[in-house]
């Protein structure tokens, strides 16, 4: 088959492309994007809002309890978490599919891998804080404190902690790991 033949075949195709029905484009544009970057953006935005709300509630609670030192420590820590999420969102927002394919794949892969890595680290931190906080409040409580000091309690609570973290890692890996590998394979193919 001659070189020209393939192009000729391609150009003879009559792709029946009728006009989009009235309002069809508007309806289409109102739909949510299914792109991986937009899903990450949405995820980070929800987390960011949740972090702000939870931070305000937690700090207010400890201020109400007149535990000022703990409130201050929590304020510093949560401020860092909020700044981190804001920066993560800004970096995701900067990725646009209008760049060339190589740049786009590279940026999506970098952000996806970074997202997974940083999310696992921050999850470990937040889990530790949540468990530590629960333990701290529980031990402070007279009634609960006695129950918590029963034998085997620490083994149970640390096992639950480890299993919860492992389960979260697995979910992140299954949700984003495969996608990151696919994009890496495309990038390798492009760079070969």
Partner 1 sequence: MSSTEFFNTFIRDQKAIIAKICRTYSDNDEEFQDLFQEVAIQLWRGYESFRHESKVSTWVYRVALNVCLTQFKKRKRNLPTSSLDDMVHEPAQEGVDPIHEQVNLLYDGIKQLKEIERAIILLYLEDKQYNEIAEILGLTRTNVGVRINRIKGQLKKYMDGRIGHQGDLADTKIISA
Helices first, then strands: H and E counts in the chain: 8, 0
Is the four-CA dihedral 42, 48, 53, 57 of positive or negative sign?
positive
Q: Is 116 in the site for partner 1 (CB under 8 A)?
A: no
Single residue of 4, 13, 69, 152 touching partner 1 by CB under 8 A: 13
Among 15, 76, 155, 174, binds partner 1 (CB under 8 A): 15
Residues 31-60 that bind partner 1 (CB under 8 A): 31, 33-37
SS3 53: helix
Locate 74 and state its tokens: 């929590």
One of 70, 104, 161, 169 touching partner 1 (CB under 8 A): 104
Q: How many CB atoms lie within 10 A of CB 153?
A: 13
Residue 178 CB neighbours (<10 A):
10
Please state the closest distance from residue 36 (CB atom) to partner 1, in A: 6
Q: How many residues does the chain have?
A: 192
Q: Is position 65 an interface residue for partner 1 (rule: CB under 8 A)?
A: no
> Is position 189 an interface residue for partner 1 (rule: CB under 8 A)?
yes
What lies within 8 Å, CB to CB, of 109 at 6+ separation is 180, 183, 184, 187
Choose, by CB under 8 A, the member of 57, 94, 144, 190 that binds partner 1. Answer: 190
How many binding residues for partner 1 (CB under 8 A)? Answer: 44
90 is an interface residue for partner 1 by CB under 8 A: no
> How far apart, in whole angstroms, are the C-alpha atoms of residue 173 and residue 147?
37
Q: Which one of residues 56, 61, 90, 102 is an interface residue with partner 1 (CB under 8 A)?
A: 102
Q: Which residues bind partner 1 (CB under 8 A)?
A: 1, 3, 6-7, 9-13, 15-21, 24-26, 28-29, 31, 33-37, 96-105, 108, 179, 182-183, 186, 189-190
């Amino acid at each position: 088959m001659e070189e020209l033949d393939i192009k000729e075949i391609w150009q003879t195709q009559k792709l029946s492309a009728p006009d989009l029905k009235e309002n069809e484009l508007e309806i289409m544009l109102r739909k949510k994007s299914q792109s991986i970057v937009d899903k990450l953006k949405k995820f980070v935005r929800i987390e960011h809002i949740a972090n702000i709300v939870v931070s305000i509630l937690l700090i207010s609670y400890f201020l109400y309890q007149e535990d000022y030192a703990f409130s201050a420590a929590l304020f510093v820590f949560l401020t860092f978490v909020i700044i981190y999420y804001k920066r993560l969102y800004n970096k995701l927002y900067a990725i646009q599919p209008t760049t060339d394919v190589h740049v786009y794949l590279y940026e999506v892969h970098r952000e996806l891998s970074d997202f997974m890595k940083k999310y696992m680290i921050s999850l470990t931190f937040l889990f530790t804080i949540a468990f530590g906080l629960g333990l701290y409040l529980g031990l402070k409580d007279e009634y609960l404190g006695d129950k918590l000091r029963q034998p085997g309690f620490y083994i149970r609570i640390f096992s639950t902690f480890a299993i919860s973290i492992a389960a979260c890692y697995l979910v992140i890996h299954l949700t984003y790991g495969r996608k990151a590998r696919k994009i890496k394979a495309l990038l390798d193919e492009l760079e070969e």
